[in-house]
Chains A and B, each alone.
Chain A
Amino acid sequence: MNPASGLPRTVDEALLRLQERPDTVALAGCTDWMVRDRLARADAPPVIDLLAIEELHGIEEIATPPSEAKRPAGADADPTTPPPLLRIGATTTFGEIRVDRRVVEGYPILAEVASQIGSRQIQNRATLGGNLVNASPAGDSLPVLLALAAEVEIASPDGRRRIPYDAFHLGYRETALGPGELLTAVLLPPPPPHQAFRKVGTRAAVAISKVMVAMAAHSRQGRWSSMRIAAGSVAPVPMRLRAAEKVCEGAPIDVETATEAAEAAWGEVEPIDDVRSTARYRRWALSRVVRRLLLEM
Chain B
Amino acid sequence: MKHPPGILGSSPLRRDGLEKVTGAARYLDDLPAEGTWVGATVRSRHPHARIVSLRFDRTKAPADAVFVHAGDIDGVNGLQILDDRWPILASKEVHYVGEAVALVAAPTAEDALRAAAAVEVEYEQRPAVLDWEEAARNEPLYELALDEGRCEAILEAAANGDDGLILVEGEYFTGAQEHLYLETQAMLAEWVDGRLAVTGSMQCPYYVKNALQHVFSLGEDAVQVVGRYMGGAFGGKEDYPSLLAAHAALLARAARRPVRIVYDRHEDIVATTKRHPSHTRIRSAVKKDGTLVAARVDFDLDGGAYLGLSPVVLSRGILHATGPYRVPNVRIRGRVLRTDTPPSGAFRGFGAPQSQFAWERHMDRIGRRLGIDPLTLRRRNVLHPGDRLPTGQLMDASCGAAAALEEAARRGDFLRRWKKAEEDRRRDEPLGRGNRPVATGVGLSLAFHGAGFTGLGEHRMRSPVTVRLTAEGRLEILCAATEMGQGAVTVLPMLAADAAGLRIDDVLIHEPDTDVVPDSGPTVASRTTMVVGATAARAAHELVQRIVQWKEEQMGEAALRVEDSRLLGPGGEIGDFRELAREYLAAGQPDAVTVHNEPPPWQRFDEDSYHGSAYPTYSYQAQVIEVEVDTDTLQVRPTRAVAAAEVGKVLHEVQCRGQVEGGLLQAVGWALWEEMKRKDGQLLNDRMTTYIVPTFLDAPEMEVHLIEEPWEGPPHGAKGVGELPMDGPASAVCAAIENAVGIALDSIPATPERLLDHHIEAAQGGRR
Contact = CB atoms under 8 A, between A and B. Distances in A.
B697 A275 contact: no
Interface centre among A211, A281, A291 (most CB of B within 10 A): A281
Nearest to A278: B753
Interface stretch (B46-54, B106-114, B342-350, B584-592): B106-114
Contacts of B695: 119, 203-206
A211 B114 CA distance: 39
B692 interface: yes
Contact of B110 (A38, A202, A275, A277): A38
A98 B264 CA distance: 33
Interface string B745-768: 000000011001100100000000
Contacts of B437: 292
B756 A284 contact: yes
Contact of A204 (B113, B684, B698): B698
A259 interface: yes
A36 interface: no
B673 A202 contact: yes
Contacts of B264: 38
B22 interface: no
Nearest to A206: B695
Interface centre among A39, A202, A205, A277 (most CB of B within 10 A): A202
Interface in B405-458: 433-434, 437
Interface in B610-639: 631-635, 637
Contacts of B434: 255
A289 interface: yes
B752 A285 contact: yes
A280 B757 contact: yes
A203 B692 contact: yes
Interface in A256-297: 259, 275-278, 280-281, 284-285, 288-289, 291-292
A203 B694 contact: yes
Contacts, number: 63
A36 B110 CA distance: 14
Contact of A288 (B632, B685, B753): B632
Contacts of B756: 280-281, 284
A208 B685 CA distance: 13
Interface in B643-694: 673, 677, 684-685, 689-690, 692, 694
A281 B692 contact: no
B633 A288 contact: yes
Contacts of A255: 434
Given A39-B110, A42-B110, A284-B756, A275 B685 contact: yes
Given A206-B695, A280-B757, A292-B437, A200 B677 contact: no
A205 B632 contact: no
Interface in B700-755: 752-753
B602 interface: no
A295 to B, nearest CB: 9
Contacts of A291: 632
A202 B114 CA distance: 34
A191 B473 CA distance: 75
A296 to B, nearest CB: 8
A269 to B, nearest CB: 15
A202 B110 CA distance: 33
B433 A259 contact: yes
A211 B677 CA distance: 20
A134 to B, nearest CB: 14
Contacts of B684: 275
A202 B692 contact: yes
A281 B752 contact: yes
A26 B445 CA distance: 54
Given A39-B110, A285-B632, A276 B690 contact: yes
Main DSSP-derived SS at the B contact region: loop
Contacts of A284: 756
Nearest to A118: B689
Interface residues of B, number: 32
A200 B635 CA distance: 8
Nearest to B679: A275
B433 A204 contact: no
A292 B114 contact: no
Contact of B673 (A42, A203, A205, A206): A203
A209 to B, nearest CB: 11
A202 B695 CA distance: 11
B433 A39 contact: no
Contacts of A281: 752-753, 756
Contact of B113 (A38, A202, A277): A38
Nearest to B630: A200
Nearest to B690: A275
A38 B689 CA distance: 17
A283 to B, nearest CB: 10
Contact of A292 (B632, B637, B757): B632
Given A38-B109, A203-B694, A205-B697, A289 B633 contact: yes
Contact of B698 (A205, A259, A277, A280): A205
A203 B698 contact: yes
A259 B435 CA distance: 12
A280 B760 CA distance: 10
A102 B494 CA distance: 58
A39 B113 contact: yes
Interface in B99-130: 109-110, 113-114, 117
B633 A200 contact: yes
Contacts of A289: 632-633
A206 B688 CA distance: 10
Interface in A99-148: 119
Interface string A180-210: 0000000000000000000010111111100
Nearest to B117: A39
Contacts of B753: 277-278, 280-281
Contacts of B760: 280
A204 B696 CA distance: 9
B632 to A, nearest CB: 4
Nearest to A273: B753
A289 B752 CA distance: 14
B707 to A, nearest CB: 31
A276 B633 CA distance: 14
B556 to A, nearest CB: 69
Contacts of B690: 202, 275-276
A38 B696 CA distance: 29
Contacts of B677: 275
A34 B698 CA distance: 27
Contacts of B632: 285, 288-289, 291-292
B697 A204 contact: yes
B752 A39 contact: no
Contacts of A202: 673, 690, 692
Contact of A208 (B113, B634, B689, B698): B689
A94 B684 CA distance: 30
Interface centre among B113, B114, B633 (most CB of A within 10 A): B633
A38 B113 CA distance: 9
B130 to A, nearest CB: 17
25 contacts: A38-B110, A200-B633, A202-B690, A202-B692, A203-B698, A204-B637, A204-B697, A204-B698, A205-B695, A205-B696, A206-B695, A207-B692, A211-B633, A278-B753, A280-B753, A280-B756, A280-B760, A281-B753, A281-B756, A284-B756, A288-B631, A288-B632, A291-B632, A292-B437, A292-B632
Given A42-B110, A211-B633, 14 more contacts: A39-B110, A39-B113, A119-B695, A200-B633, A205-B696, A255-B434, A277-B752, A277-B753, A280-B757, A281-B752, A284-B756, A285-B634, A288-B631, A289-B633
Pairs of residues from A and B, 5 with the lowest C-beta to C-beta distance, nearest first: A288-B632, A204-B697, A205-B697, A281-B753, A275-B684
Interface of A: 38-39, 42, 119, 200, 202-208, 211, 255, 259, 275-278, 280-281, 284-285, 288-289, 291-292
Interface of B: 109-110, 113-114, 117, 264, 433-434, 437, 631-635, 637, 673, 677, 684-685, 689-690, 692, 694-698, 752-753, 756-757, 760
